[in-house]
Structure 1
């Protein structure tokens, strides 16, 4: 059996030494005005290649202690049922400081509204001045998928992959895009509790809709759980040996997407502390976190042997928003300078 100790990657990782700071590019001279970017403008400015590289470097910096980032604050919101949540996520990496405000309202799906809405404020840490305010849904979707793709790039064989998407929302679409940026994808299967949503998503991403989660997962190489579920939707008995699972949903200590059998595998997290304090999948299963993905990216921890079933538990780190917002801002300044 071939062992993948530290698989090559198309993305460069800074050296894994605590004294080395992430390489920062100088940015163009900015004006004193506060920039505002709506979703359409963010989509125009955010480069997939740059985002993958930025998220990769951010995850390494997070592991090396080079990021200032408290655990996210969570507050229940809503009127009668109070079934919504407000998340506040600040972080600083080098010359970039941001905070993101996120609302998660599952009931919005029945109203034809996004269940996730977010706004990002980018600031200058030297002065505290606001540099830009941007709608955050595109960044949230893209940086979340970028983290999954970076982890897959480090841990998944370089062969055509069959992908299963459990969930049919914006995160399913962004994961399809980002995974195709790092691997050849031979098939994408989509499942949703609402069949019409699965069919529409499958059309949008060039996949095929499945009538059950099990049908989507059986035989898949990569499984992405991108749902609003609070109870498990993925059973470990469905997973093929050596599968890679990007467990993205269930952001609360009492919520789960994966059952105990699924969690009884090699677990790697975007951040250990967040996984051990905020992830219901980790807390309720008692599964140990073997490593942070940053440890593997910089070579401090070896990847598990080929054929190991891997669970990548992603909580979505604020520093990912920070680097994405900085990329958008710098791209806008560069365009202005050329005009």
Structure 2
């Protein structure tokens, strides 16, 4: 069994490698090659943490097989300088069923989430989009900045965060590798003014994106709110958008961003245009006009983690990265 920490994941799974893996995972999901239930979520009243368990089988060729993601959401970790998402992804050997790799979940989640947003951006944003607004300044903000740079030529970047000091840290980090300067702004409308690419990566439960602040023709990747009682976008913002999702089933059950405007009567049952995978498979045209505002609402799928897990395990084995823990063939044989 291969043990892979965050450093090992970063070493073998850069954004440019993750993007095509995630595009294929989304095609497989919407193409019927993925078996996964809705995630099981534990939220004890006596504990503010959230635990989620996500089993999955990804079929087809390539990075495929059985796997499991077990993750904790610990929002107070941010104040400790730690990831708010912590846990593991386990992938299983196809021949024996033995655990083949145990992988750091925080780093894998950061990369795969942004990589899927890059896939959505490439499929749905205008080809000339490059004025980027990033809301939030944490791990996902960093990975999304890398992801957007991988699929579009950025010409302007603005960052807003409730804590300006964190936004300045993101700006300083970006200055070490990004050719475009990053500007820290004081408000969400300041960040969104004229932006044709938007990534919302906050940990808020209350919406921060008003509809009137979105520029015509923008593409929005909304990734920060992944629970039914959390929202980043005001209802009028969702109503203005052509909405695309990772999974229709997940969106209908888990997305506060989409469920609240539906309950308020601002959107209808057909407001979700398609799954991202359906666009990639050519079953839906995606954007239908230059001035249309497109929204990719990301909730995250186990299929994304499991496909990433198999890719990371394969790449790490080829590179000799990680720690090998002998399992012993005799342990796989029943007495």
Asked if Structure 1 and Structure 2 have the same fold, meaning a TM-score greater than 0.5 normalized by the shorter chain, the answer is yes
Deviations 1:50-102 (A, max 9, x none): 31111001101101111011111111158x5x221011112111342211111
Aligned to 2:333: none
Greater Cα shift, 102-111 or 129-138: 102-111
List gaps (5 residues or longer) in structure 1.
1-33
CA deviation profile, 1:99-155 (whole Å, cap 9, x unmatched): 111111212223333222121111124432100111111110110001111011011
1:201 Cα shift?
1.0
Q: Does 1:263 align with 2:238?
A: yes
Instruction: Deviation per CA, 1:136-175: give whole Å up to 9, x if none.
Output: 1111011000111101101112225011111000100000
In the superposition, relative to structure 1, how do residues 285 and 125 fare at CA in structure 2: closer, same or farther (>3 Å)?
A: farther
1:305-338 per-position Cα deviation (integer Å, ceiling 9, x unaligned): 222101110001111111111111111222249x
Contact 1:189/1:202 (<8 A) preserved: no
Deviation string 1:194-221 (CA, Å, 9 cap, x unpaired) is 1101111122124111111111111111
Q: Does 1:89 align with 2:54?
A: yes
- Match for 2:313 among 329, 333, 336? 329
The root-mean-square deviation of aligned C-alpha atoms, in Å, is: 1.6
Task: Confirm or deny that 1:285 pairs with 2:255.
Answer: no
1:238 equivalenced with 2:213 (yes/no): yes
* 8 A Cα contact 1:90 1:98, kept in partner: yes
Residue 11 of structure 1 corresponds to none
User: Which is worse superposed, 198-207 or 265-274?
Assistant: 198-207
Q: Is the 8 A contact 1:269 1:313 kept in 2?
A: yes
- TM-score (structure 1 length as normaliser): 0.86
Distance 2:261 2:51 in 1: 26
- After TM superposition, the structure 1 stretch with the greater mean CA deviation from structure 2, 113-122 or 62-71, is 113-122
Structure 2 counterpart of 1:132: 101
Deviates more, 1:286-295 or 1:226-235: 286-295
Q: Which position in structure 2 is the counterpart of 1:40?
A: 7
The number of aligned residues is 302
Aligned to 1:273: 249
Runs of 4+ in 1 over 6 A off after TM superposition: none
Contact 1:254 1:284 in 2 (8 A): no
Which residue of the partner structure matches residue 142 of structure 1? 111
User: Using the alignment, how far apart are the partners of 2:164 and 2:17 within structure 1?
Assistant: 35
Cα distance in structure 2, aligned partners of 1:135 and 1:298: 31
Superposition pairs of residues 1-339 of structure 1, within 5 angstroms: 34-77=1-44, 80=46, 82-94=47-59, 95-206=64-175, 207-264=182-239, 265-286=241-262, 287=267, 288-303=271-286, 304-336=288-320
**Bigger shift: 91-100 or 238-247?**
91-100
What TM-score do you get using the length of structure 2 for normalisation? 0.87
